[in-house]
Amino acid sequence: MFITKKALPRRTFLRGLGTTLALPLLDAMIPAMTAAAATAADSTRLRRLGYVYMPMGCDASRWALPGDTLDELSPTLRPLASVKEHVTVVSGMELKNAYPGTHATSNSSFLSAARAKMTESTDYYLGTTVDQIAAREVGHQTQLPSLEMSMDLLATVGQCDNGYACVYQNNLSWSSPTTPLPSEAHPRIVFESLFGEGGSPEDRRRALDQRASLLDSVTEDLARLNRQLGPSDRSKVNGYLESVREVERRIQQAEAKTQENPLPDLERPVGVPADYGDHARLMFDLQVLALQGDVTRVITFQLARETSNRTYPEIGVPDAHHPLTHHGNDPEKIAKVAKINQFHVSLFAYFLERLKATPEGNGSLLDHCLYLYGSGMGNPNVHDHTNLPILVAGGAAGNMRGGRHIRFDQPTPLANLHLSLLNKVGVQLDSFADSTGTVDELFEPLSI
């Protein structure tokens, strides 16, 4: 512990050529003799909220849980076994405003719970999404108010789905009913937005070209900082910087392979890992770094676009995803959809394991985050928006008791869950969209 009455500011950076590197929470940032300050810092770390979108619903029979606990996980949810004490599955959620039932409205209503205006033009209209409501309240405290990420290129424009503009399924986040926020699928651009000093993409690229590695440019500042830190904090900083270096190395490796194999992939940006799983894990690792360094406290991540024709040969599914979801009750097609669902869940489980393994304060980074994972579509074969596959992960500093299955007998607005998560991270609202209340069961205090 850094024993002093004077602490380092939480917003402490390492600076170098074109680089501003935020640091994880250190003992030196909390006055050792001030319990009130430690409590305040703990409260601040609760203000982290993330959303991961799984496209095109799921096979409900393989997602559904048999009981009120996660003691017996369903086939799709089995990858969560190592982190199930941090996970609560919520069944019976619906999105009424996603009807008449399209891929576009599944995506657009997931975080807005709003009805999208049917239009093929630029007069689109939706609603402000929950992540942006949170970002307004907690985003001013960080370098980036929010971070929007995806796995696919979003080059499609015009009409994409039954009279709805492509903008509805391209974007999860909307800062106003008329302002969609584009997401980024390229790890290099995300990396530079987290650790670069700003400017245009061209400016960041020039700065990158002038150094062998981002971390090479902060060596002098790091030496200065280390002289102020105790052994424990120096170890934390070194571990964090090693994680940054490893992510940067993987990005460079992917870019090098692109030069060797220049054939384009219509859904994958040039310069990202060729393997979907490697790309997704890299994007999740970037989220860990962003949260650990307190670069942002609000993140959205789209695992694939609605109507995506991506294939998954790495798990034995060479068929395009979207056509498989219109399975017509063909058992073979349903089984392949379930394999994709399980694969997506396994990648989210990888992310939760990384958060759990990252120490912070009196627990782990996972203890101080809340993430909602799910889809705006239930049964993709009929395009319904009820009984959505939804789960919440995190610790909320001990107030969310995981390992549970919360079941609603009657269809319940997903907006109720959104409202509960907003309230939990300090954004106090009486209602959101079509909410009828909150999901109070999610945050039962732990018994001691």
The predicted structure's pLDDT at residue 244: 86
Q: Is 184 exposed, middle or buried (0-12, 13-18, 19+ CB in 10 A)?
A: middle
Could you report the per-residue pLDDT of 189-212, keeping only the tens digit for each? 898 888 876 556 566 555 555 555
Confidence of residue 438 (pLDDT cuts 50, 70, 90): very high
The predicted structure's pLDDT at residue 28: 82
Strand 363-364 to strand 359-360: parallel, antiparallel, or no bridges (unpaired)? antiparallel
The predicted structure's pLDDT at residue 274: 85
Residue 2 has pLDDT above 50, yes or no: no
Question: Strand ranges (DSSP E) for 321-377?
Answer: 359-360, 363-364, 370-374
48-185+298-443 under CATH 3.40.720, yes or no: yes
The predicted structure's pLDDT at residue 159: 55
- Mean pLDDT of all residues in 79-97: 97
Q: What is the pLDDT of the chain when averaged over all its residues?
A: 86
Q: What gap in Å lies between CA 292 and CA 290, rounded to an integer?
A: 6
Domain boundaries, the chain: 1-45+188-271, 48-185+298-443
Q: What is the CA radius of gyration of the chain?
A: 22
Confidence of residue 9 (pLDDT cuts 50, 70, 90): confident
Q: What gap in Å lies between CA 299 and CA 371, rounded to an integer?
A: 9
